[in-house]
Structure 1
C-alpha cells in the first residue's frame, strides 16, 4: 500500500509524542513492504528538503504560515492539497486539529484513518476559541474517517460513547532502550541516582508548577549523608517565552536544572541514571515518557489518571492530580527509599512485556488500513 501520514511536525521526531509514534510506525510499515509518505513542516526536523529518511519513509515538505494558531492548519491544508494529486491508498490523519480538513481526502474518495493521540481539546495552553476549533476537528475526523483509532483505552471508550461509532484501541509500543554510561551529567551538575527527572514540554497541563512546589517542600527534609551530593530536579523539555514558562523558571531554586529539549543519547543518559522519573501531568493519551522510563527500569511517580494506570498498572507511585502535599510526600519517599525505587523500577520494566512491539503495532495498523480501503470501495 501507499500510505500518506498528515498532521505532525515531521520526522525524525524532535518534539511531541505523536511525532515519535509516526516515526516508529512509518519505519516499521516500510519494513513490511509499504511505501509511506510523511508530510513535514520546515523548521522542525533539521533538513528541509524532500527525500527519503534513510531507508525508511519519504519525507515531503509543504508550505505553511507561521504562528501558534495558523501553522498546523495551513501545513495540513497544503499537505492534503498535495496528496490529492498523488496516488495514495490511505490517508492517515493524526490528531484532532489536522482532522478538521479530513473531509478533503474523504470527499475525493481516499480512505481516511484518524488517530487520536490525546484529548488536545482540553489543553490549558489553548484559548476557548482554539479549544472549540479542536473539538470541531475532532468532530470532522470522527465523521469523515473510515476508521478511527486511539492510543488509550479510556480515550477510545470516551469517543465511542460520544460519537456512537467504533474506535479501535491501538496502544503505543514498548520502546527498545539501552542504558548508557555517564558522559554529560557532570556538565549539567547532576550526579547518578541523586536526581529526579521530569521530561516534557513546559506547558500548564504538564503541571511543572505543581512539581516545583512539591519539590521545594520535599527537599527540605531530603536525606543527605556526609560527602553526598545534594538531590536535584532535572527538567528536560522545550518551552517558549510564555507567562507560564517564565513563572516556572522564577519559582525554581538552584537545585532545579533546566536542560531544554534533549534527544538521542543525551536523553538516554538522563533516563539511565535518574533515581526516579516524575510525571504529574493531568492530561495524557498514552505517555511515551512513562513507557521510556519503564524501559530503563526507572522508578515512576505519576498522577493518578486513567491513561497512566493503563500504562503502569501497579508498577508506579501515584498521587492524586493537583495535590501538592501528596506530591511532596511522594517525592520525599522517592528520595528516601532506595529499595522501593529498585522494586518499582523492576516492576515497571516487567509491565512493558505486556505491551506490543512496534512491529505488532504496524501489523495492526496494516489491518486497519486494509479495512478502511475495503469500506471505501
Structure 2
C-alpha cells in the first residue's frame, strides 16, 4: 500500500521523538513492501542527507514558532490530495487540525496521539486551544485512532467515546559501543549520569539539576538535549552546579556512545506518552532513575529506579534515588538487564509495525 505520513518534521530524524518513531516505522513498513511518503520541513532537513527508507517530501510553509507546524501541515495535506495514496497517517494533535480535509476527500485517515501535548506548559493559550482543537478534529475525522500507551488510549477513549488502539513505540536491539567520540568531552565508561531529551518545562530538568546539586555525586551529569524553550533553558543553565555538562542535542553514534557508557539515565518528566528515551536507555541495559507515573510504569514495570513526584518532596526523593543508584552496582546491573528484557519482549519494532499495518488495513476496509 501507499502510505503518507504527516505531522513529523521529516526523515532522516535528527532530534525529536516523533521524528525517530516515524523513521523507524517507515523502515519497517518499507521492508514489508509498502511505499511510504513522509512529509517534512526544509528547516529541519537542511544538511540531513537522504533517508535510509521511504521518500521525504519537503513542504512549503512559514518557519517560526507559531506558524511552522500549521502552515507546513496545511501544505502537506493539500499536496497529499493530488497523490495516489491508500491511507494518510497523521501524527500528533496539532497537525490533526487539518485531518478533516483528507477525510472529506474520502481518504482513510489514521491518527496517532504520541503524548498529551495539550497539557504542555510551554504552549501559550492560543497554542493550547489550537492543539486541543486539533485533537478534537482528529478524533472525529480519523477512521482509526491509536495512542502510544494503554493509559493514554483509555483516557482518549473515555473522553471522546470512541475506540482507541494502543500501538506503542518500538525499539530495536542495541549493541553497546566503546567510548570514542565522547572522550572529547572528557567522558569515560561508567563515569557519568545522562539526561536525554528537550529542555522544556514539562521535562523538569530544573528538578533534576537541583536534585543533582543536593546529591553531590563525584561524576558529571551530562545533558544531551535540545534547547526548545530559551527562557527555560537559561533558567536551567543558571541552576547547573559544577560538573553539569550541556552537550546540546546528540544523535547517531555519539548518542549511542552516551547511552552505552552512562552509569545511569535520569528522566524526571511527569508528562509522557511512551518515552522513546526510556525505551532506548532500556535497550542499552541502562539503569533509569525516573518519576513514578503510569506512562513510565507501562514501559519499565519494576525495571526502573522510581522516585515519588510529591510536590515539595520530589527534589530530595530524586536526590536520594540518584545516590542509591550511584552506590549500588548490583542494582544498576539488575535493573538494566530486566529493562532490556522487558522492552525486547513488549516493544519489538516488527510487532509494532504489524499492529500499525493492521490499523491501516482496517481504516482502508472500514472495519474499525
Alignment-derived partner of residue 326 in structure 1 = 317
User: What SS is found at the alignment partner of 1:43?
Assistant: helix
Pair 48,311 (structure 1): closer, same or farther in 2 beyond 3 Å? closer
- What runs of 5+ residues in structure 1 fail to find an aligned partner? 223-229
8 Å CA contact 2:147–2:153 kept in 1: the answer is: yes
Aligned partners of 2:347 and 2:285: how far apart in 1? 18
Pair 238,87 (structure 1): closer, same or farther in 2 beyond 3 Å? same
Aligned ranges for residues 1-377 of structure 1 at < 5 Å? 1-47=1-47, 53-54=51-52, 56-219=53-216, 222=217, 230-240=218-228, 242-321=230-309, 323-375=314-366
Aligned partners of 2:243 and 2:65: how far apart in 1? 32
Q: Shift of the alpha carbon at 1:337?
A: 1.2
TM-score (structure 1 length as normaliser): 0.94
Aligned partners of 2:182 and 2:63: how far apart in 1? 35
Pair 241,23 (structure 1): closer, same or farther in 2 beyond 3 Å? closer
Pair 265,137 (structure 1): closer, same or farther in 2 beyond 3 Å? same
User: What SS is found at the alignment partner of 1:91?
Assistant: strand
User: What SS is found at the alignment partner of 2:226?
Assistant: coil
Aligned partners of 1:130 and 1:314: how far apart in 2? 36
User: What SS is found at the alignment partner of 2:306?
Assistant: strand
8 Å CA contact 2:30–2:36 kept in 1: the answer is: yes
8 Å CA contact 2:12–2:48 kept in 1: the answer is: no
User: What SS is found at the alignment partner of 2:170?
Assistant: coil
Q: Shift of the alpha carbon at 1:149?
A: 0.3
Deviating 4+ runs (over 3 angstroms): 46-49
- What runs of 5+ residues in structure 2 fail to find an aligned partner? none
Aligned partners of 1:231 and 1:47: how far apart in 2? 35
Deviations 1:116-157 (A, max 9, x none): 000000011101221111110000000000000000100000
TM-score (structure 2 length as normaliser): 0.96
Q: Shift of the alpha carbon at 1:48?
A: 7.8
